[in-house]
Amino acid sequence: MTFIALLASAGLIIIAAVHLLWALGIWWPIKDETALARAVVGSKGIKKMPSATSCSLVVVALLFAAAWPWFPDTTLKSLGLFGIAVVFQLRAIAAYAPLMKRATPEQPFRRLDETYYAPLCMVFGVIFMVLAGVSAA
């Protein structure tokens, strides 16, 4: 289980690092802010990336999730892992919901969300669910 915890934590730290770049106003991997916003946010008519504060809050949440598997085994750890799993799984499911599709119609986000972002969230959700089960045992 240590390997999948390490894999999940490393993946979340990498994703947090990308969000940190955006919080700092570094548009990567797409240099054009509008094109990047259309690829990673996808809201109807979006032209600018979310604020530095919004991106920073995502960084903090991702880093907490990355650290959670390494906390000592307690009931709180198990509940936290389960909660993180549920958040990731709900995010994955939301990508295919009609409401989300109407709220985020911009391309390439819509295609990327259904092809990459949502499946990645589901993988993280499954990993955290497994870690929650192991922690509770």
pLDDT of the chain, 137 residues: tens digit per residue? 799 999 999 999 999 999 999 999 999 999 999 999 999 999 999 999 999 999 999 999 999 999 999 999 999 999 999 999 999 999 999 999 999 999 999 999 999 999 999 999 999 999 999 999 988 76
Domain ranges, residue 115: 2-136
Calpha distance 19→58 (Å, rounded): 7
Name the residue among 109, 101, 116 with its Cα closest to residue 36. Answer: 109
Question: Which residues, in sequence order, are CB contacts of 3 under 8 Å at separation 6+?
Answer: none
User: Total domain count for the chain?
Assistant: 1
